């Protein structure tokens, strides 16, 4: 049976190149996560050291077993790996999916990279896959992520209380956002405008 999401490389106009994640990317992803020691953030799940291999293998299992598509994010100007993101929680019947598991090297955070990545991911979801809605979820305490999702133009749907048990035993409240199909033209115009600004 054909997959809803075929393996595809997505390229922004200037900054970002999203290529399907492979196991061979593990060392480059570890180097990207080392910029900011992202594995130290208690509310995220970025692997450090040997844990990066587990992270990549888990992403690839999600691809093979649940139809997800994990990406390794490269900076176009030099080809350097600077993060990761993914299509997952794929609901082909209802033409919905989630964009998440997103992280970037600290030096690339709060730059236009995330805006361009989200633009190409959303373009693919709405214009190629004909999705009716795209979700974003984040930890209640990940205030930077919540603000970044809102800046995209996504609207908050609600909070899933005690949604997950984290590896450190704490309980995660998950904030759910979405963009629906009818909103996409306006959100697209907003993201393109953001990319024209000195900082997006």
For 4-63, how does the pLDDT look when each residue is reduced to its tens digit (9 = 90+)?
A: 899 999 999 888 999 999 999 999 998 988 875 665 555 566 665 557 888 899 999 999
Q: Sign of the CA dihedral 45, 76, 90, 139?
A: positive
* Domain coverage including residue 180: 10-196
Query: Is position 153 within any domain?
Result: yes
The pTM assigned to this predicted structure is: 0.90
Q: Total domain count for the chain?
A: 1
Neighbouring-strand partners of residue 100: 86
Q: What CA–CA distance (Å, rounded) separates 133 from 151?
A: 17
Query: Is position 2 within any domain?
Result: no
Query: Is position 1 within any domain?
Result: no
Query: Is position 140 within any domain?
Result: yes
Kindly state the tokens that stand for 132.
């009716």
Residues 6+ apart with CB under 8 A from 170: 42
């Amino acid at each position: 049976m054909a997959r809803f999401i075929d393996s595809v490389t997505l390229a922004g106009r200037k900054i970002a190149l999203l290529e399907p994640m492979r196991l061979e990317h593990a060392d480059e992803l570890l180097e990207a996560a080392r910029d900011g020691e992202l594995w130290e953030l208690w509310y995220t799940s970025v692997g450090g050291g040997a844990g990066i291999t587990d992270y990549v293998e888990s992403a690839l299992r999600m691809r093979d077993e649940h139809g997800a598509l994990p990406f390794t994010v490269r900076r176009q100007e030099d080809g350097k790996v600077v993060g990761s993101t993914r299509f997952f929680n794929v609901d082909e019947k209802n033409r919905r999916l989630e964009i998440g598991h997103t992280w970037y090297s600290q030096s690339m955070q709060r730059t236009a990279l995330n805006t361009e990545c989200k633009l190409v991911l959303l373009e693919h979801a709405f214009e190629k896959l004909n999705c009716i809605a795209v979700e974003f979820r984040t930890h209640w305490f990940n205030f930077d992520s919540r603000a970044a999702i809102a800046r995209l133009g996504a609207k908050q749907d609600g909070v899933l209380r005690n949604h997950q048990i984290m590896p450190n035993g704490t309980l995660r409240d998950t904030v759910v956002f979405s963009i629906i199909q009818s909103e996409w033209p306006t959100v697209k115009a907003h993201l393109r405008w953001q990319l024209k600004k000195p900082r997006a």
